[in-house]
């Protein structure tokens, strides 16, 4: 069993874990930096490959005709919001200042580099996704894992179904993975001399998706003195609210995330009601939770299904979507089953370690609150939980990494058996899902 490092530098907080963190010299060593950089570059490689696969001559996922095709992702709208200030930015009701951040970056890079808007949009999403990998390695090392163990779990993240399926796709889940990892990094780092950096971190978790702010809130609550945590959180809220007002004055149809109507409007996406309204077949809570906690790491085989869209009580069209949520155990390969078992063992071992080791409990409390909240939300929000997998994959990986404290050698054996199985399985099913999407797109193009 690994004993946490006794050199702790976060004594300012009464809630800080004792005997956890490596010394600053170890944390910022050249080897650590190079390892984080290598994981980031590896992440860019993966996202570049998946992005190229998703955008081939005659097929582009961001085309308007392919809305909801890729696991019900609204890729065409996200692409338009990133590249066109005059497009409809109404989803800023739940993505507070995503347009204010991403659109100027994409438009300015398009103008200065000579690249096409789609190339820049893919690059921005891919780079942010890749940075989340490097930052996750630093975070896990700061939690107290050895550099080798932190790198190993970072490889699990990079080989996960979530990263392979979403890091190269023009969607907000890529930037969301970055903002979540920032919150986790500050949870690991602890108090700083100035609250300014905690305000920026909390604001970062809120800027792309409102639900991710819980990561910032939990990190501050369990790692800072109570009064400072409240002040940091309120300052972050006021900062993002002010920027949201600026965004509304610039972007067409932009909404304010802090208005009650923005929250109330989301009730249409609560799955039981949505399933009844849109006639989704056989939705179950079990499938959503399994998809969130297991399928995010190990993808099951994809399939295509069509559902009617109901308008004014009449069936208007049939919407075709690539999905992987309702799969029978008999349809899953033995290698994927083994990989899933290994992953569940690592994840449950990490969670159990967090909750039972006294020195780790402040981390455990914060990560448990994040996990419970994200599980409750995404198990009932939206019809295909896999759409949100990259939102939560950094959190799942970080929790699993704590299994190293209890059984370091066994956790490394499980991890290094899991990585090639996950990489092979997830790449295969990503290509299969993309093939199904292309076949449908070409079929629709031939009709029209």
3-state helix, strand, coil in the chain (%, to 5): 70, 5, 25
Euclidean distance between the first and the last CA atom of the chain, given in angstroms as a whole number:
63
Burial annotation 176-215 (CB, 10 A radius, 16+ → b, else e): bbbbbbbbbbbbbbbbeeebeebbebbbbbbbbbbbbbbb
Residues in the chain: 448
Digit-by-digit pLDDT tens for the chain (448 residues) are 554 443 333 333 333 333 444 444 445 688 999 999 999 999 999 999 999 888 776 678 888 888 888 998 999 999 999 999 899 999 999 999 999 999 999 999 999 998 999 999 999 999 999 999 999 999 999 999 999 999 999 999 999 999 999 999 999 999 999 999 999 999 998 887 789 999 999 999 999 999 999 999 999 999 999 999 999 999 999 999 999 999 999 998 899 999 888 877 777 666 655 555 444 555 677 888 888 899 999 999 999 887 665 555 555 556 788 988 888 778 899 999 999 999 999 999 999 999 998 888 889 999 999 999 988 887 777 677 899 999 999 999 999 999 999 999 999 999 999 999 999 999 999 999 999 998 887 776 555 4
pLDDT in tens, 410-427: 999 999 999 999 999 999
For residue 422, what pLDDT is reported?
Answer: 97
CA distance linking residue 264 with residue 259, whole number of Å: 9
Model confidence, pTM: 0.90
Neighbours of 430 (CB within 10 A): 21
For residue 16, what pLDDT is reported?
Answer: 38
CB 223 within 8 A of CB 178: no
**Angle between helices 98-113 and 226-250 in degrees, nearest 10:** 60
For residue 30, what pLDDT is reported?
Answer: 86
């Amino acid at each position: 069993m690994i004993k946490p490092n006794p050199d702790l530098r976060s004594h300012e907080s009464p809630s800080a874990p004792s005997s956890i963190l490596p010394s600053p010299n170890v944390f910022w060593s050249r080897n650590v930096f190079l390892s984080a950089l290598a994981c980031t570059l590896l992440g860019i490689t993966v996202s570049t490959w998946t992005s190229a696969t998703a955008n081939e001559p005659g097929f582009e996922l961001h085309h308007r005709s392919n809305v909801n095709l890729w696991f019900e992702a609204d890729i065409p709208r996200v692409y338009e919001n990133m590249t066109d200030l005059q497009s409809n930015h109404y989803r800023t009701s739940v993505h507070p200042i995503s347009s204010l951040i991403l659109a100027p970056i994409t438009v300015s890079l398009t103008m200065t580099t000579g690249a096409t808007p789609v190339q820049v949009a893919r690059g921005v999403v891919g780079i942010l996704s890749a940075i989340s990998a490097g930052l996750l390695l630093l975070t896990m090392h700061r939690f107290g894992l050895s550099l080798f163990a932190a790198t190993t779990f970072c490889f699990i993240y990079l080989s996960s179904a979530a990263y392979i399926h979403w890091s190269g796709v023009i969607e907000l889940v890529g930037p969301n993975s970055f903002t979540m990892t920032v919150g986790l990094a500050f949870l690991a780092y602890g108090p700083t001399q100035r609250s300014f950096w905690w305000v920026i971190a909390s604001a970062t978790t809120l800027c792309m998706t409102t639900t991710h702010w819980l990561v910032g809130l939990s990190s501050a609550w369990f790692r800072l003195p109570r009064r400072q945590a409240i002040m940091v959180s309120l300052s972050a809220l006021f900062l993002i609210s002010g920027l949201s007002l600026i965004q509304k004055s610039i972007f067409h149809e932009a909404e304010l995330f802090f208005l009650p109507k923005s929250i109330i409007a989301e009730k249409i996406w609560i799955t039981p009601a949505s399933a009844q309204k849109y006639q989704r077949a056989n939705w179950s809570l079990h499938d959503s939770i399994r998809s969130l906690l297991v399928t995010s790491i190990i993808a099951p085989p994809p399939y295509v299904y069509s559902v009617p869209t109901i308008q004014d009580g009449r069936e208007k069209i049939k919407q075709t979507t690539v999905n992987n949520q309702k799969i029978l155990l008999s349809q899953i390969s033995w290698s994927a089953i083994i990989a899933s078992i290994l992953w569940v063992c690592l994840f449950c071992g990490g969670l159990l370690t967090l909750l039972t080791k006294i020195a780790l409990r402040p981390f455990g409390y914060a990560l448990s609150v994040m996990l419970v909240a994200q599980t409750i939300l995404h198990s009932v929000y939206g019809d295909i939980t896999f759409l949100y997998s990259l939102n939560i994959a950094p959190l799942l990986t970080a929790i699993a990494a704590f299994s190293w404290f209890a059984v370091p050698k066994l956790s490394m054996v499980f991890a290094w058996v899991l990585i090639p199985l996950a990489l092979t399985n997830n790449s295969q099913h990503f290509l299969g899902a993309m093939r199904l999407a292309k076949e449908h797109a070409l079929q629709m193009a031939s009709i029209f």
